[in-house]
């Protein structure tokens, strides 16, 4: 399979050197992966979300960064597919599907991450288009991509601010400035950039859906898909950590026997595998709902929360099972340990997921519904 055959031989060295995997991106283009969830009529593979989640899981199991390159791009594609005008779909989706145009999302700003309504980037009407001004932070695919979904305020006076926010498809050009690549603990090989818009002109045709004031709602929908993807990355990373741990435990001997024979080690392995199984089921269930075209904010939030906490825990336990060797670059678990925390933070921190989940449960209760949805 692609992940084992093509990604695994490069992952460790590229990650250590923080080297961008150009050749893997080219291979993913050839395989059509940049169009995985884009319908065939727009030139994509037309895969359902469950199949896509499984692909992301397998890639993340080998190298999480490569799954990130794909994810950010496909959230952008999903938003154009779901909220774009037919002209926008016809223009962009075939180009996204082949990877001729690639990119991601520009939501976060230096002073606004979780608090999306706090963004300051503005899009001011100017003739047949808009002028973008503002700063964006932590943009995945920011250097080697060329097209982005940008959230900006078209009506800075609107209250609440979300009513004055709009989403644009922005192609790199004059006024799009990549300020720097941000050095990171993990998630290496893929660039994370600080970006500035300096009076950048964007045609009005690039306003997603053609109507101002829809951006906040569109972003919430896109983040649902993003959270399922991040959950799948968590499952993949957790599996990698578990598989390394169980193999090592079965080989490493102490006190005259494999450490896998010690009950304390067995307990760790049992909990890791059980939580991974549960995380996987949550992720696939959320993906199934999305595949049926249903809202999945609660399910996506639960999957993201549990799968990414499981990934972080599994990475730590795998390192502990490896003893001192787990702390060295001679074994892959130190990479899993550095990669896992991003999943807890990205696509809405897990504190935000907890808030989203709790709000949904309370909403159902107050509407007279079964809050957990588990009824008889
Ligand atoms: C490697 C990397 C790649 C990224 N890629 C992208 C990208 O491609 N595009 C993009 O737009 N963004 C991207 N991000 C940004 C990411 O989504 C944000 O970092 C994240 O949403 C958190 O925002 P923040 O960093 O501003 O933290 P803050 O929002 O400042 O949060 C700081 C802390 O406060 C907590 N907190 C905030 N509000 C609440 C609340 N209401 N209740 C409880 N706790 C709260 C948070 O959970 C967190 O613990 C990326 C980030 C990283 C690190």
**Shortest CA distance to 55 belongs to which of 72, 35, 33, 76?**
33
Q: Give the tens place of pLDDT for each residue, 250-288.
A: 999 999 999 999 999 999 999 999 999 999 999 999 999
Q: What is the pTM of this model?
A: 0.97
Mutate to test the pocket of ligand 1, among 304, 342, 349, 358 (most ligand atoms within 8 A of CB): 349
Q: What is the pLDDT along the chain (376 residues), one digit of tens a residue?
A: 899 999 999 999 999 999 999 999 999 999 999 999 999 999 999 999 999 999 999 999 999 999 999 999 999 999 999 999 999 999 999 999 999 999 999 999 999 999 999 999 999 999 999 999 999 999 999 999 999 999 999 999 999 999 999 999 999 999 999 999 999 999 999 999 999 999 999 999 999 999 999 999 999 999 989 999 999 999 999 999 999 999 999 999 999 999 999 999 999 999 999 999 999 999 999 999 999 988 888 999 999 999 999 999 999 999 999 999 999 999 999 999 999 999 999 999 999 999 999 999 999 999 999 998 888 7
The three-point CA angle 188-192-193 to 5° equals 150
Distance CA 102, CA 34 (A): 8
The Cα 326–Cα 211 span in angstroms is: 53
* Rounded Cα gap, residues 233 and 237, in angstroms: 6
Length of the chain: 376
pLDDT in tens, 201-225: 999 999 999 999 999 999 999 998 9
CA–centroid distance, residue 31 to ligand 1 (Å): 32
CATH code of the domain occupying 104-213: 2.40.110.10
Catalytic pick from 26, 198, 347, 354? Answer: 347
Q: What is the pLDDT of residues 104-133, one digit of tens each?
A: 999 999 999 999 999 999 999 999 999 999
Q: Is 234 in the pocket of ligand 1 (CB under 6 A)?
A: no
Residue 252: CA count within 13 A, CB half-sphere: 17
Residue 355 CA: nearest ligand 1 atom is 42
- Predicted confidence at residue 201, as pLDDT, reads 98
Three-class secondary structure of residue 321 per DSSP? helix
Question: Could you give the C-alpha distances from 220 to 49, 52, 179, 348, 363, in angstroms and in order?
Answer: 17, 20, 27, 10, 17
**How many other C-beta atoms can be found within 10 angstroms of the C-beta atom of residue 58?**
19
On average, the pLDDT of the chain sits at 97
Which of ligand 1's atoms lies nearest the C-alpha of 108? 11
Distance CA 305, CA 231 (A): 8
Could you tell me the sign of the dihedral formed by the alpha carbons of 173, 179, 180, 186, in that order? negative
Closest atom of ligand 1 to 104 CA is: 8
Provide the H-helix boundaries in the chain.
2, 8-17, 22-31, 49-62, 64-83, 86-98, 215-251, 263-291, 297-321, 333-345, 350-366
Residue 156 is encoded by which pair of tokens?
Answer: 């800075």
Q: Looking at the domain that runs over 2-102, which CATH code has it been given?
A: 1.10.540.10
User: Domain residue spans in the chain?
Assistant: 2-102, 104-213, 217-366
User: Which residues make Cβ contacts (< 8 Å) with residue 368, sequence separation at least 6?
Assistant: none
Q: Would you call 347 a catalytic residue per the annotation? A: yes
Report the CATH fold assignment for 217-366: Butyryl-CoA Dehydrogenase, subunit A; domain 3 (1.20.140)
For residues 307 and 217, give the distance between their C-alpha atoms in angstroms, rounded to a whole number: 25
Q: Which of 328, 354, 361, 331 is nearest to 12 (CA)?
A: 331
How far is it, in rounded angstroms, from Cα 322 to Cα 284? 30
């Amino acid at each position: 399979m692609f992940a084992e055959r093509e990604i695994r031989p490069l992952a460790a060295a590229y990650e250590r050197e923080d080297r961008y995997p150009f050749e893997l991106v080219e291979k993913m283009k050839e395989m059509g992966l940049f169009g995985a969830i884009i319908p065939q009529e727009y030139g994509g593979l037309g895969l359902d979300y469950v199949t896509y989640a499984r692909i992301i899981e397998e890639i993340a199991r080998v190298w999480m960064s490569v799954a990130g390159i794909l994810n950010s791009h496909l959230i952008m594609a999903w938003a154009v597919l779901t909220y774009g005008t037919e002209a926008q779909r016809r223009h962009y989706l075939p180009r996204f599907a082949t990877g001729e145009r690639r990119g991601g999302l520009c939501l976060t700003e230096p002073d606004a991450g979780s608090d999306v309504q706090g963004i300051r980037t503005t899009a001011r009407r100017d003739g047949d288009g808009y002028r973008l001004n503002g700063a964006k932070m932590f943009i995945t695919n920011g250097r080697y991509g060329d097209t982005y979904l940008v959230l900006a305020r078209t009506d800075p006076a609107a209250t609440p601010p979300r009513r004055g926010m709009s989403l644009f498809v922005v192609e790199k050009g004059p006024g799009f400035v990549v300020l720097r690549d941000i050095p990171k603990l993990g998630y290496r090989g893929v660039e994370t950039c600080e970006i500035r818009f300096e009076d950048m002109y964007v045609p009005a045709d690039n306003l997603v859906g053609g109507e101002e004031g829809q951006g906040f709602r569109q972003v919430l929908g896109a983040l649902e898909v993003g959270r399922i993807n991040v959950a799948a990355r968590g499952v993949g990373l957790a599996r990698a950590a578990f598989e390394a741990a169980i193999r090592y435990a079965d080989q490493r001997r102490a006190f005259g026997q494999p450490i896998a024979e010690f009950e304390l080690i067995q307990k760790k392995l049992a909990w890791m595998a059980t939580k991974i199984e549960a995380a996987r089921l949550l992720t696939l269930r959320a993906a199934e709902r999305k595949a049926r075209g249903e809202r999945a904010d609660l399910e996506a939030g639960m999957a993201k929360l549990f799968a990414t906490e499981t990934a972080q825990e599994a990475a730590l336990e795998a390192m502990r099972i490896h003893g001192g060797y787990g702390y060295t670059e001679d074994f892959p678990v130190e990479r899993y340990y550095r990669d896992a925390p991003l999943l807890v933070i990205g696509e809405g921190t897990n504190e935000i997921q907890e808030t989203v989940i709790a709000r949904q449960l309370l909403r159902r209760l107050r509407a007279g519904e079964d809050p957990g949805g588990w009824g008889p």
